[in-house]
Structure formats: structure tokens, C-alpha cells
């Protein structure tokens, strides 16, 4: 995918957002194995559970996980914070796309993991850490 937006209202299978160069993929349910695999850029948002190997071989992309995620060992913890861009993105999804985005995800803290360190290490995984 090069630019644009894809909103999946429900669950996604394996490799949702794999190989993205730009753009936005949103999964309102669970996402299967390899979400965002090999992303060069772009953002993947998963409101449910994110399957194993999410973000593997990512160069610069972002994965926002509001539910549980099985991170690859090549992602390293960086910090816990309230990313302002995630707040704006989630408000956009609620107001403009009509998605049921909980306030706790909009105002909550996120653990930031940098990776994939087997690649450039400039990608990130933001996992919701609570309020």
C-alpha cells in the first residue's frame, strides 16, 4: 500500500498492513500473525489482540496496539508516555470515521518499543499501558 486509508471493521487475517510504504490501516477487532510485517512507513492501529510477529522487519512504520500484542524479541522498550499524535489519530478515527474508540485509549499512556533492531530500528510499537 502506498498512501490512503483502510478501515477493517472486524478481524483481519495474517499480514494486515504488511509491506506498507505509507498510509493507515485500522483493524477494529483482532489482527493475525505478522501485522505490519516489513513496513517501510505508515501506521497500523489494532483495537483488539495483535498476533505474533507484529512489526517483524519493520524499517520505520508505527503499530498502535490498544489490546495485547506479542512483540518480537527485536523490539526494545524505550519509554512510557502519552503520545500526542496517537491522541489526534484516535480522535480522528472516532469523529471522522465513526469508530468506537474508548476514551481510555485516547487519554491513556503507551509503552513505546523501538525496532525492528534486525533492520534500521526506526520503527515503533506503541502498546496501550493504561490510564
CA distances from residue 105 to 49, 56, 67 in whole angstroms, order as listed: 14, 24, 10
Q: Cell triple for residue 92?
A: 480522528
91 - beta bridge partners? none
Can you give the residue range of the structural domain that contains 117?
5-130
CA distances from residue 109 to 52, 79, 84, 114 in whole angstroms, order as listed: 22, 10, 10, 16
Please choose, from the candidates 62, 83, 61, 98, the residue with its C-alpha nearest in 3D space to the C-alpha of residue 129. Answer: 83
d(CA 101, CA 19): 26
Decide if 32 contacts 16 (C-beta within 8 A). yes
Local confidence pLDDT in tens for the 131 residues of the chain: 556 999 999 999 999 999 999 999 999 999 999 999 999 999 999 999 999 999 999 999 999 999 999 999 999 999 999 999 999 999 999 999 999 999 999 999 999 999 999 998 899 999 999 98
- Domain count of the fold of the chain: 1
pTM value is: 0.94
Amino acid at each position: 500500500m502506498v498512501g490512503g486509508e483502510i478501515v477493517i471493521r472486524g478481524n483481519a487475517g495474517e499480514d494486515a498492513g504488511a509491506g506498507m510504504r505509507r498510509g493507515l490501516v485500522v483493524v477494529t477487532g483482532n489482527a493475525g500473525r505478522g501485522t505490519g510485517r516489513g513496513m517501510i512507513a505508515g501506521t497500523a492501529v489494532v483495537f483488539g489482540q495483535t498476533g505474533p510477529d507484529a512489526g517483524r522487519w519493520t524499517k520505520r512504520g508505527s503499530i498502535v496496539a490498544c489490546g495485547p500484542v506479542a512483540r518480537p524479541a527485536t523490539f526494545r522498550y524505550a519509554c512510557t508516555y502519552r503520545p500526542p499524535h496517537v491522541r489526534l489519530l484516535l480522535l480522528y478515527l472516532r469523529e471522522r470515521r465513526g469508530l468506537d474508540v474508548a476514551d481510555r485509549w485516547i487519554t491513556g499512556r503507551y509503552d513505546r518499543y523501538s525496532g525492528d533492531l534486525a533492520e534500521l530500528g526506526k520503527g515503533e510499537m506503541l502498546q496501550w499501558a493504561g490510564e
